[in-house]
Structure 1
């Protein structure tokens, strides 16, 4: 284990450079393309920010492109706070990324639904 500073925010972090497969960063999906990944360690918060910033660009693509991109990350049931969900007033609010990985719409009018489904009551605005 090595003590390092995050290259983004300069906070102290522990990196397992001797066994990268045992490092905390391997808990996160390898979403970022190699050309934009850091060459040195980032803390968890900065890594999640970088991933979410990249995903914002993915969300501007047609929905089929978004689904196809997310498809490769299906099957990972490990939910990551700050990526798959956020906590608000004690409730888990699933992210657009979570729904894209799932690959289908439940038609419950979820807050971050990427599929464009709205509850009937939300459609009827007078």
Structure 2
């Protein structure tokens, strides 16, 4: 099964490869949170532009978040993954990982460690 195709990014016009190489080796697109539907044009973005689009959509979602809304947020019901994406789940500060609110929302509850970006604290 080789479903890899060369596409052109609708945002930056760069060429990129997209598609599943095999059942076990999925497209890079599957590494990102499933927060887009194909009707939103997410199928035609290169990895860099798609990451930026994910960050923008997550940031917009987080702007609506309150401590009360965080308790039943949608992110906690997304498929679980061990993959962390810089800029979406965390950023680096002086060589340390700083977990962003999205990471905490995916966990589904506060860990009570007074995290800097905890969305569960009011």
Structure-1-length-normalised TM-score: 0.72
CA 1:55–1:89: 2 relative to 1, 3 Å: same
Q: What is the Cα deviation at residue 17 of structure 1?
A: 7.0
Flag the structure with more relative contact order, 1 or 2, with Cα contacts below 8 A and sequence separation at least 6: 2
Query: What are the ranges of 5 or more consecutive residues in structure 2 without an aligned counterpart?
Result: none
Offset from partner CA, 1:76-126 (integer Å, 9 cap, x none) = 222222211122322211111000011122232222111226xxxxxxxxx
Q: Work out whether 1:98 is the aligned partner of 2:106.
A: no
Task: Answer whether contact 1:4 1:12 (CA < 8 A) is retained.
Answer: yes
Cα-Cα RMSD: 2.7
Task: Answer whether contact 2:6 2:18 (CA < 8 A) is retained.
Answer: yes
Query: What are the ranges of 5 or more consecutive residues in structure 1 without an aligned counterpart?
Result: 118-126
**Aligned position for 1:3:** 6
The range that moved more, 66-75 or 83-92, is: 66-75
Structure-2-length-normalised TM-score: 0.74
